[in-house]
Structures are given as C-alpha cells and as structure tokens.
Structure 1
Amino acid sequence: MFVDFFNIDGDDFSISLLSVSDSKPITEYYKRNNPHLTRWEPRNGESLEVQSNWQKYISSIIKDYNLAKFFSFTIKINNEIVGLINVSDIKKRPNYSCNINFSLDKRYQGKGIMQTSLNKVLGWMQKYQKIRCVTAYCMTNNKVSLKLLTSLNFKKVGLFEDYAIVNNEWEDFFLLKKNLTQIL
C-alpha cells in the first residue's frame, strides 16, 4: 500500500490510498469544502456529502486498485483529509498513460502541499506503474490549478469548448500533458 509522510511549512501530512475506513473523513472533507469545490468540479448528481455514498464508492474501486486501473489518494493532516488526487484512465502497453485530477481544502492552498503531493504520486506512477504520459483537464478560468500544473511542467495541448457542466453551466477546459522520463 502507498503511504508516504511529508512536512511543509510546519504541516505534517501524509498521502495514502483512499480506503473504506476513510468514508467518514472524505464525507467531512466534502461537507467543509463543497461551496469551494462545486465551482471547479463536474458532478454526476450523487451527493458527495453522504457517507453511505462514499462507502459504496470506495468498496467498488478496491478491485480497480488491484488491477492498477484507477487510484484515489488522500492527503491527510492529523488524520483529517485535506486533499484528494485521482489517477484514472490508466493505460499500459503501448501508451503507458493516465489522467490525473485533484482537489485541496481551501484552508491549505498556497502552502505547497498539493505540488509536493502531485510530484510524489506522479513519481510513484512512473516507478511502479511505468507511466510515461500524464494528462489533466482544467477549467480555463481555474487560474490556481493552471498555475500549479504549469509549475509541474504540464503543457497545454488542447482546448475543449463546452466540455463539462460545472455548477449548472457548460465550461471550457484545457487539456494539459506532461511526459515523465523513463526507460521501459
């Protein structure tokens, strides 16, 4: 299991795979951050503020962990979930690619926690899953996420107009890409 510990600006935090025991903390994360996150996240209609929804969801993705098809990582400070990184659309031969998305508690933005966490997760994906190409979709007006992704050397490679409904509005998204260097 992936578990790592870090310290930035006095905040001790850890990164680990989302597990069934996290259903209550992840529900609390969305309750605290829903007004902030609904501005940036497409939603499928299910409430992320209901613990039983998370219990079902986490139980359903455990098999994807075992098949290396999807990973959901939590970022915790003092056992409180303060962020989430999802790695999806994992492809092996011949692509060795995946897609990444993330969110962070508004209280912890600007402290370098997500940048360090993304670097660690991408390093793990490169080393253990042999991933070479990572993509990310980001709303064109999400300046904070765009700044973070470009600081991690993601490059804009496309624009998708009216790509997804966010907060009841069709939004444009950039597609960004980062190549991880490695020899297979």
Structure 2
Amino acid sequence: MIGNNNLNFPKIETDRLILKEIKVKDAASILNIFSSEEVMKYYGQFPMKSIEEAKNLITIFDENFENNKGIRWGILLKEENRIIGTCGYHNWNRKHSRAEIGYELSMDSWGKGYIKEALGAIIGYGYEVMNLNRIEAVVYPENKASIKSLINQGFKKEGVLEEYAFFRNVYQDLIMFSLLKKNWVKKQ
C-alpha cells in the first residue's frame, strides 16, 4: 500500500530533478503547464482556464494516492526550484500488478532529457516499491516525442487500440505500450 494512511508521500531525487508531492500551493505552476494547448493536445483534455481547475486536479491526484489508486509526482527542476511537469501512475490494478504511466512537461522544458530522467526514476519505483509486473502507457499515434521516450525506456509497442478513448469530443485511437518487469533494465 502506498497511500497516506500507511506511508508518507515518497520524494525521489535524480541528478537534476526532485519528484515531489503536488500541493495546493503549486496550483499556479500546474495551471501554467495544463493551460497550454501544445501540452494538452496529447493529454486527452482541453487546456485549463482557471486556478480552480488546477486545484481540482491536485485534489484528484491526492485522492488517488490516499486511496491507493495511483501516485502523481510534481517534477521540480532543482536549478530553478520550479515545477516543470508531472509524472506518475494511474489505473493501478494491484490484483494484476499493473499500472498505467503518464507524464507531461511545460513546453519550455521539452527536449532537455527531463522526461527520460523522471521516467527512469518512477519505473524503478513502480517495480521496487509498488511491486508492479507490468507498466502500460497509451499514447496518441501522433505523439512522436512520447513514443520515443517510452521506447528509450524499453517499452514495446503492443498495437493500436482503435477508438479507445473519447477525448476532446472525438473518439481517439491510442497505441498501447508496455514494459514487463522481467524485461526492465535498471538504469544506474
């Protein structure tokens, strides 16, 4: 169990990042990231328009953690002490030892290797702490950067899920990727 009832929210540190609990005081940073059309076009929702929407999302992240349904970290860039994105797990199925991974970054942080660094850390957490056997990711076929990030972590493409989700008022095809624990190569 990872929820707040049994364990404090885990903080993970990498070379350039701190993965930390997202608090209501971080709502302005969350709004900044989630209000971008470019960031949100592959997130499956329309861009946020208010600080209240950001606070509601933080509440959802908190509830998922407290109820052992998932965990979402804020990605804090150490050198600037600011949140540049989020990453974590949702749709956690403990019976089958699997969860879906997700992440996004502010546009000014794209192409700098931050997702690679964050994913390496949370994949390890998923296998070593959450006892996952399978980590899944569903990605828009057009989201080439995300696909590249997953493949670089060892994820394998399983296939296209036709009209799998109803995002932004349209049925959307998504590609299913997975990484099995037995195929995971721990990054040093």
TM-score, length-scaled by structure 2: 0.81
Determine helix, strand or coil for the equivalent of 2:118.
helix
Shift of 1:137: 0.4
Contact 2:72 2:87 in 1 (8 A): yes
Shift of 1:18: 1.9
Match for residue 86 of structure 2 among 70, 84, 87: 84
TM-score, length-scaled by structure 1: 0.83
Question: Residues 6 and 68 (structure 1 numbering): CA distance in 2 closer, same or farther, change over 3 Å?
Answer: same
Determine helix, strand or coil for the equivalent of 1:130.
coil
Determine helix, strand or coil for the equivalent of 1:48.
coil
Contact 1:165 1:171 in 2 (8 A): yes
Alignment length, in residue pairs? 173
Structure 2 residue 74 is the aligned partner of structure 1 residue 74? yes
Q: Whole-Å Cα distance in 1 between the matches of residues 118 and 175 of structure 2? A: 22
Shift of 1:150: 0.7
Determine helix, strand or coil for the equivalent of 1:129.
coil
Give the aligned residue type for 2:53: N
Q: Whole-Å Cα distance in 2 between the matches of residues 61 and 142 of structure 1? A: 24
Structure 2 residue 104 is the aligned partner of structure 1 residue 103? yes
Q: Whole-Å Cα distance in 1 between the matches of residues 139 and 166 of structure 2? A: 13
Identity %: 18
Contact 1:101 1:136 in 2 (8 A): yes
Structure 2 residue 145 is the aligned partner of structure 1 residue 144? yes
Tell me what 1:48 maps to: 48
Tell me what 1:65 maps to: 65
Contact 2:33 2:105 in 1 (8 A): no
Tell me what 2:28 maps to: 24
1:4-15 superposed matches below 5 A? 4-7=12-15, 12-15=16-19
